[in-house]
Amino acid sequence: MEARAHKTVRGRLRLTPELEEHPLVSIVMLTGGTRRLVHGRELVLIRNALQTILCRSTYANYEVVIVVDRTTDEAFAQSLVNIDPNRIRTVADTEAFNFSGANNRGVGASTGDILIFLNDDTEVDSPDWIERMVMYLSMDDVGVVGAKLAYEDGRLQHAGLVLRHGYVEHRYNGYPGDWDGYQGSLRGATDVAAVTGACLGIRREVFDAIGGFAEHFPLNFNDVDLCLRARRQGWRVIVDHECRMIHLETSSRDAGISPAEQRLFSQLWGTESTSDPFHHPLFTPVRMEHIVPPAPLRRLRTRLAPPDPHPRVLYQRQNGRRKSHPA
């Protein structure tokens, strides 16, 4: 790798991958064919994600394995393969949704030495994202690499995971997208307790050595559990803040953590689930707050809003329909 001057931040250097080897990378994605309004257009998330991978990525040696949920049909799965038959193949998931189990099945159908697990509600933001993951995963002591994720509005969604009192939080969630972090902690790559499975890179040998994703975590904590098992066996978990993705979070499924998974995580990891060696205990996270829409959008909403109801209707709404309108 080579250190070059950062294009946008004066006085900062950016590590640029110059790979001597280009191993096959397997990108494993899960999908149920979910649709969502993205950038003003209704899109099929997996197709949108695939287009950004194929059009923006500069790394050449990769394949995409898509695990298709049982709720989708064969025609939809084939339409995904048709986007790029030389790179893309699908695996039918016939079981009830289990994030861990589905990803393990995707790995079983893949052939790459490097595995990248990627949500179908993501978009590639930095073209050299695969090179950067390969660069760090070529280091013997690094087992897992994550990316910096941002919301559609540019605010940070993820810069590593933090373990606090048995709960898991996204590091710097809600901060401005261009913020450098405390004492520059959002520059380059940093060690973290865990990274999100929305974009997680791992060497196949590490994945096999720790037994893959734990299927007793079907929805939550599977990524954290994977990272903690990797760290327990001596591998580092890092997040590369120059590897950037856009994450349309929880577009594919509802948010929320089941109490059963929370209890199981605490039971399995004990004190390791309550303290984080890479995070200051006095750090106060920023909570997401509503952002006021721009003035043109507010004017448009006012213009398109339905007319005010008749005074009689308004009175009935406020006072109950059984009360008579005053004379």
Q: What's the token pair of residue 92?
A: 């039918």
Q: Which residues contact 21 (CB under 8 A, 6 or more apart)?
A: 138
Number of DSSP helices (H) and strands (E) in the chain, helices first: 9, 16
Percentage, residues of the chain above pLDDT 70: 78
Helix (H, G, I), strand (E, B) or coil at 297: helix
Place of tokens 């993205």: 38
In sequence order, what DSSP letters do the residues of 224-269 get, joined into one string? Answer: HHHHHHHHHTT-EEEEEEEEEEEE-TTSSS-----HHHHHHHHHHH
* Biggest CA pair distance of the chain: 87
In angstroms, the CA 163 to CA 166 distance is 6
Q: How many CB atoms lie within 10 A of CB 314?
A: 11
CATH superfamily label, 2-273: Spore Coat Polysaccharide Biosynthesis Protein SpsA; Chain A (3.90.550.10)
pLDDT, tens only, 22-79: 999 999 999 999 988 777 778 899 999 999 999 999 999 999 999 999 989 899 999 9
In angstroms, the CA 318 to CA 316 distance is 5
Comparing 139 with 266, the larger pLDDT belongs to 139
Threshold 0.85, pTM exceeds: no
Confidence band of 18 (pLDDT split at 50, 70, 90): confident
